[in-house]
Amino acid sequence: MGLFTVFLLISLSFNCFHAEASEKPFTMVWLSDPQYYAESYPQIYDCLGDWFVKNYKHNSFGYLIVSGDIVDTASCVNQWEVASRNFQKLDDANVPYGVLAGNHDVITNGLNYSIFKSYFGASRYIDKPWYGGSMDDNRNHYDLISFSSHDFIILYLGFGSETSLETTTWANSVLEKYPNRNAILVLHEYLDTDGEMTEKAKIVSDSIVLKNDNVFMVLCGHYHGAQKKFKMVCNSDGTTRKVLEILSDYQKAPNGGNGFLRFLKFCPRSGTLKVSLYSPFTKKDSYLGEGIDNFTETIELID
C-alpha cells in the first residue's frame, strides 16, 4: 500500500468521523418560572441544582436556559439566597447556563433591576467562556455555545424593556455580528396561554425576529401552561425560514411546578427537535398530556 493511499484512507476516516460527530444529537435543558421553589419549596430548587451538576458531568445536556421568575418576591432576600446558592453549584462546576429576569424578579414599586443585578449581574458571568456580553449589567445578555459543528447564540431579553429602542438596537447589533450562528431568542413574556403573541411579543417579532435570518426559535414562560406554534417568515434574500415559538410554564403543577424541566434534543441527522418533559424531583415525564408536554418538530440548523 502506497504512502498516498494510506494518507487518503486516514483522511477519509477522519472526515467520516468528523461528519458523524457533527450529526450526533445534543440536548439543552430549559427551566422556566421556578419562583415558587424559592418561596415555598427550596428542596425542589436544591434538587434541581444538584441534578444539573450531576447530569452535565454525565453529558446528559450541554447548556441550561432559564427564562425568568427566578424568585417570587423581588424584595425577599431569602428567596434570592435560595436561588443563588443553587446556581452557584452550576458556577462552581462550570455548567454553562443563561438567565434573564422575569416580572417577579424586578417589580418592586415599579421596575427595579437593582436586586437582580446584585445576584445575577454581569460580574457573575464575565469570566465564563460561553458568556458573550450584556447590555445594562445583564438586563439583556447573550451566550455563545457550540455542539460540534453547530454554533448557537442564545439571546436573552429581560422583562420590562424588551420593546425599547435601546434593547432592539442592541439585540439587532449582536445578531448581525453572528449571522452564521443558530439564534434562539429567550424572553419571559411572548406567547399567551392560547399560543398567541402578546402585544409586546408582536413588537419584538417585527423588530428583531423578522429582521434576523438566523433566528429560528423563541422561548418564553410567564403565562401558566404550555403552547407551541411555528410561522414561516421571509428572509432578506427572499427565501423562507421556520420560526418555532414555545411557551413553557408548569408552576400550576403541585409544589409550585414539581421540578418539571423541558428538554430540547436536537437531532441534526433527521433535522428534528424533540421537546420533552421530565422532573428530577418526581421522576414524572407528563403533566399536561402527550403532544403538549412532548412533541417533535422539524428544524433546519446552520452548519
Q: Where are the domains of the chain?
A: 25-298
Give 191's DSSP letter: B
Cα–Cα dist 65/55, whole Å? 15
217: exposed, middle or buried (C-beta count within 10 Å: 0-12, 13-18, 19+)?
buried
CA distances from 25 to 16, 22, 268 (A): 16, 8, 6
Cα–Cα dist 71/123, whole Å? 20
Q: What pLDDT score does 90 carry?
A: 98
Cα–Cα dist 175/212, whole Å? 7
Q: What pLDDT score does 9 carry?
A: 46
* Axis-axis angle for helices 42-57, 77-93 (nearest 10): 10
Dihedral sign from CA coordinates of 184, 173, 103, 99: positive
Q: What pLDDT score does 236 carry?
A: 86
CATH topology of domain 25-298: Purple Acid Phosphatase; chain A, domain 2 (3.60.21)
Cα–Cα dist 140/187, whole Å? 10
Q: What pLDDT score does 12 carry?
A: 44
Q: What pLDDT score does 2 carry?
A: 58
Cα–Cα dist 145/29, whole Å? 13
Average pLDDT, the chain: 93
| Cα dihedral 249/220/297/206 (nearest 10) | 150
Per-residue pLDDT of the chain (303 residues), as tens digits, is 555 454 444 444 444 444 465 789 999 999 999 999 999 999 999 999 999 999 999 999 999 999 999 999 999 999 999 999 999 999 999 999 999 999 999 999 999 999 999 999 999 999 999 999 999 999 999 999 999 999 999 999 999 999 999 999 999 999 999 999 999 999 999 999 999 999 999 999 999 999 999 999 999 999 999 999 999 999 988 999 999 999 999 999 999 999 999 999 999 999 999 999 999 999 999 999 989 999 999 999 998
> What DSSP letter does each residue of 236-297 carry, written as one string?
TTS-EEEEEEEEEE-TTSHHHHTT-EEEEEEETTTTEEEEEEE-TTT----SS-TTTSSEEE
- The grid cell for 302 is 446552520
Bridge partners (DSSP) listed for residue 262:
30, 277
